[in-house]
Structure 1
Amino acid sequence: MIPSSSTARQDAWLLWPLAAIHFYHLLDLLMLQPLAPQLMSQLALSSGQFASLVTAYALCAALGGLIAALFIDRVERKRLLLCLFALFSLMTLLCGLASDYGVLLLARGVSGLAGGMLSAMVQTLIGDLIPPERRGRATGLMMSMFSLASILGVPLALWLSELGGWRLPFVLLATLALPCALVAAWRLPRRPPMPQAELRHPLAMWGRILAPRRHRAALLFVCCGVFSGACVMPFLAIYLTQALQVSSGLLSWVYLLGGAATLLASRWVGGWSDRVGKPQAFLRLAGLSLLPITLITQLPPLPWYGLLLATTLFFLLVPCRSVPAVALVTSSVDPALRGGFLAMNASCQQLATAAGAAVAGQLVQVSEQGVSGYGYAGLLGGLATLAAMVLCLRIPPLPRTEPRTA
């Protein structure tokens, strides 16, 4: 934990290198979705095969998180973060160089393996470096990277793909890895392993992490929330372009405006959740998000302004509800087990993503006649949101063990 005399300005010097790595990670993840029509056309992929690309990443990321949970609290954090980021960026490059579906599937799988550990490391360092009463704001900054990736990265990826094909965005993204790594190496402090009793067997760490009831409730809460979004997000670009005949230019505006709305709101939501309490903030936002989840999956053909209003509302509420959710989960963990828990939490998120994408891949059918079944995916996403709202109230608070700051 950083000293209690630290200020929000000092927090920012620590957060921005993590934000840069998180932005890179999200951009790699988000680019795949709007590039889906090109990928399916040029590589002759079925909707099930495209879903497999999402699922492979998610399953391998889940495996990576479970592996990381065994040792993440026993190693120096900064060095591990930089090594994982190097592997992840190499796989981004391989995605751009992939010659066929098999190579692309392999690259996405290894990306997931590294990305699952990388995501856990970013969340762990936030917990290590930022005091509890400013963790909501810090989480809001991290979540705003999703919006920034949507605003800058996704439209740019679509534009680049029109110029040089779907490979070009991945290759250019890989070139940004070096400056991100240099900034992180310069600004982030070294974090020694957490002091804790030695366990006779590494797998005993899983049992130790799962022993507290609040840990189990938090993991199930995360699964339901992530599953909800994963039922809807992977096939959004396909539904808009093939069912509603949305042009690539208008699709860029969908992600641009949606990302801008989330970017403007997420930092405010982080501070607001610190004031009103993380559970109450999540419940209010999750309840409001049921409307766009249901609406976006059953849209009839609309004029451009109606479409942009509906999609912007979706991107505003669904990502923003994750801000208090992540802060709540991070603050519910025993500090001595934070790294291992958040690695396992990252695995649960990816398993929920894989499950949501796999189920949606079975429900959503893409053919020459159009797209069918997307409304059922939205209905399932809404039910998962309701389950997350119930579980939110069942996460017991963590006894105060971390010092408050001024």
Structure 2
Amino acid sequence: MSKFPALFFLIMFMIGTDTFLVSPLLPTLQAEFGVSTDSAGWMLSAYALGSAVFALIAGPLSDGWNRRVVLLCGLTAFSVCTFLCGLATDFWTMCLFRLLAGISAAFTAPQVWASIPSVLPPQRIARTMGLAFSGLAASQAFGVPIGSWLASGGWSVPFWTIGCASLLLAVFAYFALPSMPPMPSPSSSAGASTGLGAILRRYVPLARSGKARAGFLAYLLIHLGSGAAFAFSGKWLAEDFGLTVGEIGTAVIFLGLGNLLGSAISSSASRKLGAARTVAAAMLGAAALYALLPQLSPVSAATAVYFAICTLLGIVFPLVMGALTSLNASLRGTISSLANATMNGANTLGAWLAGLMFVHLGGYSAIGLFAAVCLAASLATFLAGGLFARESSRAASAGRPASN
């Protein structure tokens, strides 16, 4: 059993590191391919675009196939496409390979969240969800410095390293993971059909479920607030505290460690307090700290408070994902992919709104208040929707769709 948490942690670490990899390499790649700053951004956007768009398709498709096969194929394709990025000869081939890597990640990452309840007993699901999120948190903390360090041997080296490491993980997963055939869904008779109608039909039970609607709205609000706050945190640290780019990078690593800590202790907190109380306490604490954050003057105090916020959110996210995937056992891939798309969309919208607030509403104070309101509204939506009701836990433990 212990091999599964390690495998899922490493898969999410690789995907997360690949996501952040291009950022420190962007000036080098821009010079290498001779493109403008505006065009260079597409090397970042291509990956995100492929991941966000295809997640909505990959989830429903994976629920009609053997989940082990989908994960293995996605991880293998991810490793190959990432390796090919290191062989790109011009700007457009790099964008193509980044797009393909993002598409492959869209088929891989949701299978991790969907597979955890399938291969582990109920009492270990929350802890393993936390470890998988720890992989993402660790990539956020260490992905940029790892990429920069590997790039000292040439800009291609980070891509080749992650590609080879991911391929080794695919080999390990081939021997470690059991078969996970699709569960019969009472809402669809299409089976493994891949038509557009079959894909859309897998979203119908979620659209009809009040609990699912509330859960995804609350999930969107969490990322809308936290995404807005994080998007302009660097500019806030530079303008209000005079931090250099290097010092801001160190602060981001510190925040990633907070997220990692929260993910690691999430299941323990849930066992002691219960999922609903843990989520409520953590989200209320984070909301209060977001409102306080812009008012702090010493940079050490501001960083410490932001670290606490990241720790609290690190506690929340695994529990929320566990609750979402318990909504319907036959649609875990669809749910995980929709959660991924919701997160990306909310972060994008949050960054745009943060820019407007920073310019027109008095800087980071408005953003901190906005984040606090979003988290409070998210918590109210979670509680009103009953996502953490005991009925959901019993249904998940029994492997049945939760009642509406």
TM-score range for the pair, normalised by the shorter chain length:
0.7 to 0.9
Q: Which AA in structure 1 matches 2:331?
A: L
Cross-structure match for 2:193 = none
Question: Structure 1 residues 137 and 38, CA, compared in 2 at 3 Å: closer, same or farther?
Answer: same
Retained in 1: the 8 A contact 2:16–2:140?
Answer: no
Question: Structure 1 residues 355 and 330, CA, compared in 2 at 3 Å: closer, same or farther?
Answer: same
SS in 1 for 2:395: coil
CA displacement 1:36-86 (0-9 Å, x = unmatched): 78778996535x985x76665444333222212332222111111111122
Cross-structure match for 2:205 = 208
Query: Larger deviation: 312-321 or 33-42?
Result: 33-42
- Counterpart check, 1:181 vs 2:170: yes
Question: Structure 1 residues 292 and 63, CA, compared in 2 at 3 Å: closer, same or farther?
Answer: same
Any stretches of 5+ residues in structure 1 without a counterpart? Answer: 1-9, 366-371
Retained in 2: the 8 A contact 1:19–1:141?
Answer: yes
Question: Structure 1 residues 362 and 93, CA, compared in 2 at 3 Å: closer, same or farther?
Answer: farther
More helix by percentage: 2
SS in 1 for 2:384: coil
Q: Which AA in structure 1 matches 2:337?
A: A
Retained in 2: the 8 A contact 1:151–1:260?
Answer: yes
Question: Structure 1 residues 308 and 356, CA, compared in 2 at 3 Å: closer, same or farther?
Answer: closer
Counterparts of 2:239 and 2:87, CA distance in 1: 27
Counterparts of 2:170 and 2:231, CA distance in 1: 29
Counterparts of 1:158 and 1:299, CA distance in 2: 31
Cross-structure match for 1:341 = 335
Retained in 1: the 8 A contact 2:85–2:98?
Answer: yes
- Counterpart check, 1:81 vs 2:71: yes
Cross-structure match for 1:250 = 247
Counterparts of 2:367 and 2:245, CA distance in 1: 24
Alignment partner of 2:114 out of 107, 111, 124: 124
SS in 2 for 1:260: helix
* Bigger relative contact order (CA 8 A; separation at least 6): 1
Retained in 1: the 8 A contact 2:182–2:330?
Answer: no
Q: Tell me by how many angstroms 1:95 deviates.
A: 4.8
Question: Structure 1 residues 109 and 189, CA, compared in 2 at 3 Å: closer, same or farther?
Answer: same
Q: Which AA in structure 2 matches 1:315?
A: C
Retained in 2: the 8 A contact 1:69–1:205?
Answer: no
Retained in 2: the 8 A contact 1:279–1:325?
Answer: no
Counterparts of 1:277 and 1:40, CA distance in 2: 49
Q: Tell me by how many angstroms 1:308 deviates.
A: 4.3
SS in 1 for 2:202: helix
Any stretches of 5+ residues in structure 2 without a counterpart? Answer: 191-196, 400-404
- 1:301-380, aligned counterparts within 5 Å? 302=298, 305-306=300-301, 308-331=303-326, 333-360=327-354, 373-380=363-370
Q: Which AA in structure 2 matches 1:232?
A: A
Q: Which AA in structure 2 matches 1:45?
A: T
Cross-structure match for 1:7 = none
Counterparts of 1:298 and 1:45, CA distance in 2: 34
Counterparts of 2:323 and 2:348, CA distance in 1: 23
- Counterpart check, 1:45 vs 2:37: yes
Query: Larger deviation: 172-181 or 86-95?
Result: 86-95
Counterparts of 1:56 and 1:351, CA distance in 2: 15
CA displacement 1:162-205 (0-9 Å, x = unmatched): x3576653443233212221221121111112123553541322
- Counterpart check, 1:394 vs 2:389: no
Counterparts of 2:182 and 2:358, CA distance in 1: 46
- Counterpart check, 1:224 vs 2:221: yes
Cross-structure match for 1:5 = none
Cross-structure match for 2:5 = 15
Q: Tell me by how many angstroms 1:272 deviates.
A: 1.3
Counterparts of 1:298 and 1:100, CA distance in 2: 46
Cross-structure match for 1:275 = 272
Counterparts of 2:380 and 2:230, CA distance in 1: 23
Retained in 1: the 8 A contact 2:265–2:315?
Answer: no
SS in 1 for 2:37: coil
SS in 1 for 2:203: helix
Q: Which AA in structure 2 matches 1:326?
A: M
Question: Structure 1 residues 135 and 173, CA, compared in 2 at 3 Å: closer, same or farther?
Answer: same
Q: Tell me by how many angstroms 1:402 deviates.
A: 4.7
- Counterpart check, 1:61 vs 2:51: yes
Q: Which AA in structure 2 matches 1:14?
A: F
SS in 2 for 1:23: helix
- Counterpart check, 1:27 vs 2:11: no
Percent identical residues = 25
Cross-structure match for 1:140 = 130
> How many residues matched?
383
SS in 2 for 1:191: coil
Q: Tell me by how many angstroms 1:352 deviates.
A: 2.0
Q: Which AA in structure 2 matches 1:190?
A: S
Retained in 2: the 8 A contact 1:33–1:235?
Answer: no
Q: Tell me by how many angstroms 1:244 deviates.
A: 4.6
Retained in 2: the 8 A contact 1:33–1:237?
Answer: no
Counterparts of 2:295 and 2:149, CA distance in 1: 28
Q: Tell me by how many angstroms 1:22 deviates.
A: 0.9
TM-score (norm 1): 0.79
Counterparts of 2:210 and 2:146, CA distance in 1: 44
TM-score (norm 2): 0.79
Counterparts of 1:156 and 1:146, CA distance in 2: 14
